[in-house]
Amino acid sequence: MALSRRAFLRRSAAGVLLAGGTDVLEVAAPPAGYGPLVDDPQGRLALPEGFGYAVVTEAGVTSLETGEPTPRNHDGTGAFAAPGGGTVLVLNHEIREGAGTELAVPHRDGLVYDPGAAGGCTIVTTDARGGRVAERVGIAGTSTNCAGGVTPWGTWLTCEETEARAGERGYERDHGYVFEVDPFDRAALVDPRPVKALGRYSHEALAMDPVTGDIYLTEDASRPNGLVYRWVSPGVRVGRGVLRGLGPTDGALTAMRCTDEAGRHVDDLSRASAPGTTYAVEWVDVPDRDARDESVRTQFDDGRVTRARKLEGAWWGNGGAYIVSSFSSGHRGQVWFYDPRRSTFTLRLRFTGDDDGDGPDNISVSPYGGVILAEDGDGTNHLVAAAEDGTTFRLARSEHGGEFTGPVFSADGRVLFANVQVPGTMFAISGPWG
């Protein structure tokens, strides 16, 4: 989302400021984007004129290939090109309750991590137009599968947003881990194992550097606020099957520490109020990544790390990692960009909440430039696009007001998949993208 010199004229639209350089010019009128959103007579999804949608999965309505109903609470999603055309998606189900809860992810033989947990992922196949073909269980017996991230070799890393231990909520095993889900190889799904090298904490999302294999992870937690982490490979080339075989302390797990231009420590990302603010970054080793005695984030004094409230979405693109802080005092959402070449962290977007843009959560990079953000804010929620020329506009509105999750384009850019979390619906949106 880096902008050219001509694009230094920034726009402020729907309560959003965007900057990639040094100068910011606020413009009162919001841009049109694809035009105004049109009310949906079905009461589901408002889209611009010329766009349409199909329902791909719906909790309790559509069915898995084994006959059970689609589980509830749709969240983060990864999309992969299917052989011969179409898309295969791995869909998180953010279910916190123990086994036996309504519309849980079914416990299929060989695919269960913890018999006492109800969350997990389903694997959804569509045709080239986004039409539903099939749905099956990818992993079961995990908890609070919130977001995650795609790998360069075509798998999904699903994140548990919890620190619950065995004995809580009926769980039989500890939770708070990352699991790899292969959308194509069914044998690779058998006997799911956590990637303990990535730590045990309230994982939200992650972004992987396709060149180095470094993984950047967010933590949605409070008292104290969460951290941004980086995992560095232990000198092995990371690829298909490698993460599953790592030991619990393999590689280096570190936490972000930012300093401002004067070299002063930044204790919290909410201190930044001006888009374009850039911090220098260093990484501090995590003492006990499995949090045996205390949560990872409490193992650091505030002066050693930089925290943020509701660290949410993460996505790799344009040579770096986009990181979202959903809201805090002084802002209603921030989008940051980590540049690994310069080891800098720059505020790219700041939501003010003056209009109806607030609470960004999941994020993905658009094949048409810029990023797509899923709102989880107060009142009406939208899919919001932030284009490379600095404009922001709404792509969709949830007619029920529910939280958007998991926006991601098909590999060919023809279909935008997105979910409304509760009770859980995946939409395939098509139209004159450009």
Please check whether residues 130 and 77 belong to one and the same domain: yes
Number of independent structural domains in the chain: 2
**Does the structure show a pLDDT above 50 at 15?**
no
H or E element: which one contains 139? strand 132-142
Please check whether residues 164 and 149 belong to one and the same domain: yes
Place of tokens 């690994």: 340
In this prediction, residue 223 has a pLDDT band, given cuts at 50, 70 and 90, of very high
Gap between the terminal Cα atoms of the chain:
16
Please check whether residues 189 and 105 belong to one and the same domain: yes
Please check whether residues 48 and 98 belong to one and the same domain: no
Residues 6+ apart with CB under 8 A from 223: none
**Does the structure show a pLDDT above 70 at 7?**
no
Quote the pTM value. Answer: 0.92
Please check whether residues 53 and 160 belong to one and the same domain: no
H or E element: which one contains 230? strand 228-232
Among 194, 212, 236, give the residue marking a domain's end: 194
Q: What's the rounded mean pLDDT across residues 243-269?
A: 97
Q: What's the rounded mean pLDDT across residues 155-168?
A: 97
CA distance 39 to 227: 39
Mean pLDDT value across the chain:
90
Which is higher by pLDDT, 331 or 372?
372
Please check whether residues 42 and 68 belong to one and the same domain: no
Q: How many CB atoms sit inside 10 A of residue 378's CB?
A: 13
Q: What's the rounded mean pLDDT across residues 119-138?
A: 98
In this prediction, residue 389 has a pLDDT band, given cuts at 50, 70 and 90, of low
251 part of a folded domain: no
425 part of a folded domain: yes
Q: What's the rounded mean pLDDT across residues 251-267?
A: 97
Please check whether residues 49 and 98 belong to one and the same domain: no
Please check whether residues 101 and 179 belong to one and the same domain: yes
Burial 47-80 (b: 16+ CB within 10 A, else e): bbeebebebbbbbeebebeeebbbbbbbbbbbbb
Which is higher by pLDDT, 221 or 378?
221
Percent of the chain with pLDDT over 70: 91
Among 143, 161, 194, give the residue marking a domain's end: 194
Whether 411 contacts 80, CB under 8 Å: yes
Tell which residue, 251, 240, 116, has the closest CA to residue 187: 240
CA distance 78 to 362: 11
Per-residue pLDDT at 8? 24
CA distance 388 to 391: 7
Q: Strand, helix or coil at 31?
A: coil
Per-residue pLDDT at 390? 59
Would you give the DSSP letter of residue 36? P
**Does the structure show a pLDDT above 60 at 168?**
yes
Q: State the residue range of the domain holding 153.
A: 63-194
Whether 393 contacts 33, CB under 8 Å: yes
Please check whether residues 152 and 99 belong to one and the same domain: yes
Helices then strands (H, E): number in the chain?
0, 29
Please check whether residues 67 and 147 belong to one and the same domain: yes
Please check whether residues 128 and 138 belong to one and the same domain: yes
235 part of a folded domain: no
Please check whether residues 18 and 130 belong to one and the same domain: no
358 part of a folded domain: yes
6 part of a folded domain: yes
Q: How far is CA 427 from the centre of its chain?
A: 17
Whether 421 contacts 406, CB under 8 Å: no
In this prediction, residue 327 has a pLDDT band, given cuts at 50, 70 and 90, of confident
238 part of a folded domain: no
Among 154, 175, 194, give the residue marking a domain's end: 194
222 part of a folded domain: no
Per-residue pLDDT at 340? 98
Q: What is the pLDDT of residues 287-322, one digit of tens each?
A: 999 999 999 999 999 999 999 989 999 999 999 999
The per-residue DSSP string of 102-115 comes to TTPPP--TT-BS-T
Structure tokens at 66: 């084994």
SS in 3 state form for 183-212? CCCHHHHCCCCCCHHHCCCEEEEEEECCCC
324 part of a folded domain: no
Per-residue pLDDT at 199? 98
Per-residue pLDDT at 401? 82
CA angle, 29 then 31 then 35, to 5°: 125
**Does the structure show a pLDDT above 90 at 352?**
no
